[in-house]
Structure 1
Amino acid sequence: MDQYYNYIKSLHLIFVITWFAGLFYIVRLFVYHAEAKLKPEPEQSILVKQYQLMAYRLWYIITWPSAVLASIFAFLMLFGTTLGNAWLKMPWMHVKLGFVFLLYLYHLKCHQIFRQLQKDEVKYSSSFFRLWNEGATIILFAVVFLVILKDAINWVYGVIGIILFSVLLMLGYKFYKKIREKNQQ
């Protein structure tokens, strides 16, 4: 299996990328769905139906299969190769796997929201969904830096960095929201 490590790693990376693409786009569709509910009829019904169809196809044709395949190839890398077994003993990998666990929780929460919106139950605002979308971004940044640097990143600097990045994202969102509100007036 070690001779196929780079192939497995390449496939893992491809499906991680498509998984994140699906997560980023599904939440944008959540935003659009929530905003469509504020439109007058018949525009509302037409848009909601279209967003439900787009979300359904994205979720079941791209996002879920990508999540499953990324996980299978990760499992093969970690438990089917000598290098993967060695990585499991390294602190940076433990931290990375913690973020991957958060990613699974994020994915499952997106699935719950997806199912609600398929029944046209809008429980969150478009503002909530815009902020929710940043969760995947934070996880992506953390995992990429851990994998590339292969260091558990000094916890103090790592935690401060992620908090600062999150604050910057929130400030950017608030700035964007003010611009949108000003343009709508």
Structure 2
Amino acid sequence: MSDILSNWYPYIKAMHIMSVIAWMAGLFYLPRLFVHHIETAGLQGPSHDLFIIMEDKLLRVIMNPAMISTWLFGIFLVMIPGIVNWDMVWPWTKAIAVLAMTVFHMWLAGQRRKFVAGKRLKTGRTYRMMNELPTVLMVVIVLSVVVKF
């Protein structure tokens, strides 16, 4: 299996990078949609309904598949001999940051369900602050992988 993966390494890496880009785009955009949803549309009416559709499509059509493919291609990369040295710190910091990003993704999905149900939500300010989390995690991941400390 590792021989097959080694031969496909450039393609697996490329697919991983494309998946990460798509996932990050959604992680940056969905909290912004929440800010505008809570501050302009409220929890009922045509604007609310439109935001619900946009948030649902972003999560189901872009973010969920991108997260799954990021994980899948990332696991394939880890399985290729010589790519990851687990004696170093960087794979562990990256792994923790990716897990945190996944938890954030799930939190966003939970917030979307609350919008649909019309339950108590966070403020626009909270969603703005939460919008910074993927940036911090991205910095940790990129520094981990590129600098390899």
User: Would you say same fold, with TM above 0.5?
Assistant: yes
Residue-pair matches, total = 145
In the alignment, which residue of structure 2 is the partner of 1:76?
76
Say whether 1:141 aligns with 2:139: yes
Say whether 1:17 aligns with 2:21: yes
In the alignment, which residue of structure 1 is the partner of 2:38?
34
Which one has a bigger Cα radius of gyration? 1
1:25-174 pair list within 5 angstroms: 25-37=29-41, 45-79=45-79, 81-84=80-83, 86-151=84-149
Relative to 1, partners in 2 of residues 1:38 and 1:3: Cα closer, same or farther, differing over 3 Å?
closer
Shift of 1:98: 1.1
Distance 2:53 2:61 in 1: 12
- 1:87 match: secondary structure: coil
Relative to 1, partners in 2 of residues 1:18 and 1:35: Cα closer, same or farther, differing over 3 Å?
same
The higher-RCO structure (CA 8 Å, 6+ apart) is 2
Deviations 1:57-77 (A, max 9, x none): 110000000000000000011
Kindly report the root-mean-square deviation, in angstroms, between the aligned alpha carbons of the 2 structures: 1.5
Is the helix fraction higher in 1 or 2? 1
- Percent same amino acid at aligned positions? 26
Distance 2:47 2:82 in 1: 49
What runs of 5+ residues in structure 1 fail to find an aligned partner? 152-185
Conserved? CA contact 1:34–1:122, under 8 Å: no
